[in-house]
Amino acid sequence: MHKKLDYSKYLDTNFGNEIINMVTNIYKFTGKAELFSITNQDVLEKLMKVAKVQSVDASNRIEGIFTSDKRLKEIVLSKVSPKNRDESEIAGYRSALELIHTSYVYMDIKPNVILQLHKMLYDYSGSNIGGKYKTTENIIEEQDLYGNKIVRFIPVKAFQTKEYLESLCEEYNYILNQNIIDPLFIIPVFVFDFLCIHPFSDGNGRMSRLLTLLLLYKTGYYVGKYISIEKIIEDSKDTYYDVLQLSNAGWHESNNNINPFIKYYLGTIIKAYRTLEERYIIVRESKISNQERIYNYINESITPMSKKELVDVLSDISQVTIERQLNNLLKENKIIKIGQGRATQYKT
């Protein structure tokens, strides 16, 4: 290998106050979430069902893979069989996600487990790339406004992939076994290095998100079960790509700055915990009417809210009901509508 993966250096790394404070905040949120799980398991069960659908949808949509909302829910619930390539890959992601949810305790961070998860992504598609390392080079490119392709990053060579992935898993397991550094500092590094290795000809992005959940679950951070981290990434994907590019400059020479990516990843976890807390309170207070809940959320928001944002945060209320109650609130002059069409927002 040209670049050496050496995670022992992180034992002496000063990550800076901002990253340390983010980790501390996650500790606090984790404590609250543990209380939720003890006293309100029924609420978490509802949130878990919603998060599962959102995770399958968002992680695939980032890669341009999608189907209708109706078909998506039916596929996630295993009520229908996929009928095209996109739906086949959606079904594969659902299966891999389900395996992580139910069996993460038994899944070691080793290449064979990563290969198994990747194979599951393509179990329904008939593709023969699942569970196999790339055999040709895969340059990461982006297209500008004029259609010109720009090289964003060159991953490791195909013939080096197996060696790099083995080293990645060995270094991660070694550093965690030292028990002197919190996994929250290392999980983003593992995910980042995985993306830089880019071990597969397709599915690397989806695999990075599945591995994020697996690594978090195995180290005691379960928020991804109840709030879709994949959706948070989809909603901030421009920032995600920006920090990925910032942090991979100089990766091959081992002089890259990983901190922007770590901050982004810890930020998504904090966002997930905050959302969990908000939704827990909303579901807990569900004895008030749907109209009151919708009004309260708009009234307490610092900025105007769109219908989509309300549907996301009030996940136990159907979209039809939210639309009806928004119309009622408008008629009663309790809220104001701003903009038109998809840009429509509401405020008090």
Give the predicted TM-score (pTM) of the model: 0.80
Segments of the chain assigned to CATH 1.10.10.10: 288-347
Q: What is the mean pLDDT of the chain?
A: 90
With a pLDDT cut of 70, the percent of the chain lying above it is 95
Would you state the pLDDT for residue 54?
A: 95
For residue 133, give the nearest of 155, 104, 108, 151 by alpha carbon. Answer: 155
pLDDT in tens, 298-346: 887 767 888 888 888 787 788 899 999 999 999 999 999 998 888 899 9
- At the top level of CATH, the class of 15-283 is mainly alpha
Which residue intervals of the chain bear CATH 1.10.3290.10? 15-283
| Residue 290: pLDDT band with limits 50, 70, 90 | confident
Confidence at residue 144, expressed as pLDDT on a 0 to 100 scale:
66
Residue 187, pLDDT > 80, answer: yes
So what's the pLDDT on residue 140? 84
Span 40-97, pLDDT tens digits: 677 788 888 999 999 999 999 999 998 999 999 999 999 999 999 999 999 999 999 9
Fold of 288-347: Arc Repressor Mutant, subunit A (1.10.10)
Tens-digit pLDDT profile for residues 26-36: 998 888 777 66
The pLDDT, as a whole number, for residue 250 is 93
298 to each of 196, 292, 309, 348, how far by Cα in Å? Answer: 41, 10, 10, 7
